Every structure is written in C-alpha cells, then in structure tokens.
Amino acid sequence: MRSVIFRSQLKPLKASLFVNGFNNFTCNNNYKLRRNHTNAPSPLSILSEDEQFFKETVRKFSQDQIAPLIKKMDKEHRIDDELVKKLFENGFMAIEIDQEYGGSGSSFMSSTLTVEEIAKVDPSVSVLVDLQNTLGNNVMLKVGNKEQKEKYLPRLAQDTVSSFCLSEPSSGSDAFALKTTAKKDGDYYYINGTKMWISNSDIAGVFYVFANTDPSKGHKGVTCFIVERNQEGFSVAKKEDKLGMRASGTCVLHFDNVKVHKDNIVGEIGEGYKIAITFLNEGRIGIGAQMVGIAQGCLDHTIPYTLERKQFGSRIFDFQSMQHQIARAVTEVETARLIVYNTARLVDAGLPFIKEAAMAKYYASEVAGKVTSVCIDWMGGVGFTTDYPQEKFYRDCKVGPIYEGTTNMQLSTIAKFIKKEYEQ
C-alpha cells in the first residue's frame, strides 16, 4: 500500500521548510539542470542519428517504391515480387540480424520505426516487414542454436520470408489448445495437422510450426519446429479473401506426415509455449507501430484536404468544430506513438515490457479505428470512394484489434499486471 502525506498533515514550520527548501532547490538548480540537459534522459520522440537515418531512408523508399504499387497489390491480393526483393536488398527484412549473417545489426526501435513508416503508405507491406523482423528473425536470433543460425539467418537476411504458424481452426485466442501433433520416430518427428490465418505463408520459404509432441502434457508438450516450403507432405492451401490487408497473404496450411529431423527443433522439446508467448509479446509492439502508421498516414492524406476544400466560403479546417476534432485525433495518435516508442525502448533496454506491449497494441488499434473513421467523415462523399486512400486505411486497421491477441486478451493482460501491482 502506497503511503500519501497531505500538506495539511505537516506542522506549519515543517511545511514552511518543505516549501522553502523545494523553492530554494528549484531556484539554485534549474539553471544548472537546463545547462546539463545532455545528461538527462532523452524525450521518447527524439531519435538517435542512426534511427533518424533509418526512418528517412524507409520513408523515401516507401514513397518511391511502394506507393506506385498500392492499388495493384490490393487488387491482386499479393505483394509484388520485385518489391519483396527490394525490401531485402535495402536491409528492411533483417534489421536486427547481426552483420556477420548479412543483416543490418540495428535495434528493435529501428524495426518499430520501419514498420510505422511503411504502414503510413501501405499497411499490407508493413505486415510482411513487421512479422519478418519481430517474429521470424528474432526467434532464430534469440532461440536458435549455432548451427541453425548459420543455416537460416543468412537466408532470412537475403531472400527468404519466414512465417509463424501457431493459429488453427479450433485454436485462436486459446492458441495452445492446438491439435497439430508431432510424433517421434527415431531421430525424426512426423507432423500432422492444419494451421489457419498464417500471415506471409503465400510467399514464405521457412515456417516455424508449433506442434504438440505429447498432448497428455497440454501446452507443456508444444514444441517449435522449422519446416521448409518444399518438404513432402506440406502444402499451402487456400488464401483468405479479406476485408483489409489484402496484399498480405493469409493462408491455410496442411501437414500430412511431414518428416522433420530433431535438429530442426527450435529451443527444447516442450518450449514452444514459452517461445510463442515471448515473441508474440514483442510482435504486439510491431502491431502497435502498424496502427500508429495507419492513423498517421490517413491524417497525412486528409488534413491537407480540409485546408483546401471550401464550404460556406471558408476552408473546412477553419470551422472550430473541425479544428477540435482534428486536434483530438492528432493528440490521440501522438499518445499512441509515445506508448509504442516507450515499449520499444524497454525492449532494447532489456527491461520488462509485457504490460506496456499489451497497452501499445490495444490503444494504437483503438486509435487507428477511430481516426480512420473520422477521416472518411471529414472527406465527405469522396472519402467513401476507392479513389482516395482513406477507405483502404479504414479497412486495413480493422485487423488491429484481432490478430496477435484480441483487444480483450490485451485488456486481460493489462488487468493482470494492475492487480499484481496493487496487491503487493
């Protein structure tokens, strides 16, 4: 229980000393504090030189290489093959992979900035980049053994998309009720089952497959296996026809006695649960960055319109009611951004971040839904057409409260931490 001392509880003399002492400290030290500001923690929104360079590079790439392909990819339900190659060539698919393996050797914060910038232009492409960095690459970087790293990290850095295969037809939020099994026979395991809602699976070459090696142990039997796309018995089936994120492939996967050597186990037998939870927590920060990017991108396309469009002899922006709506939206987006940035900084600092990650995903998803909706309102009739990008941002953000843990799951996680903090 935290103790609180009210000023009225202090004796007059002590209260005077308290106030005067604090005032004296402030007067004597404010100048010094300001002069020595370089020793103070940096504001969350102030980026390092490397981070700023990364952000500007991604922004230019997105405008030059992604923007011209948005409508084509959305219509075809597929990310352009040449664009995928360029994402690899520019290092955006291997941000945290060490340089010795062909990666950029940068930080989680740089990954976060990259996802946000791409999402401002095309959220579907940001899904590809986000999942490659926060899930696929990081699982191998942090859990893979030496041989696995040497075999797979150069591929993941240069030309191979990865896919994280956890969800099944009967296990969504209750992910570890999965029914896919891996039966041991000598040095091999035979995987049988079906995965569903698997992002990037249409173009992936490497798959992290979660299967239960001992169903009697429940989630403690879940193990992570590496499966290659061309392995016998493995097939990528139906691609979902989705409301949004249409260029990002989401498919059903079938495993029919897929033979996997024990050397392709990531971590240890029964550690799949721990691996999935750990990296999905990091992945939620990436989703938060996506949602911030979507909201900001939508504002960037909408606010200039309100400064040009005139009604009743005045620009739409100049009506006070519009100014208040716009100010509220911009404030909410900035708030979401700061939560996301703070959580990414916690990851890079090696500090606990699970509660903050849940907050980032939950809040940024809520803000993106709200902001994209009002942007369509501000655009009027044209906002309801596909001639303008607002409708796509609106469609794309709808998945935010759903994938990588629903909003209700995030709120339950946050509440669990709040309870723990106040029961101590």
| Residues assigned a catalytic role | 404
DSSP strands (E only) in 70-125: none
Determine contact, residues 366/383, Cβ cutoff 8 Å: no
User: Nearest 5 degrees, angle CA 397-CA 286-CA 345?
Assistant: 135
At a CB cut-off of 8 Å and minimum separation 6, what does 104 contact? 91, 94, 95, 96, 97, 110
Other CB atoms within 10 A of residue 89 CB: 11
**Closest Cα to residue 141, out of 97, 108, 102?**
97
Give SS3 for 204.
coil
Half-sphere exposure of residue 423: CA atoms within 13 angstroms, side-chain side: 6
Name the residue with tokens 């393996």: 101
Distances (CA, A) of 353 to 96, 168, 332, 417: 18, 27, 21, 11
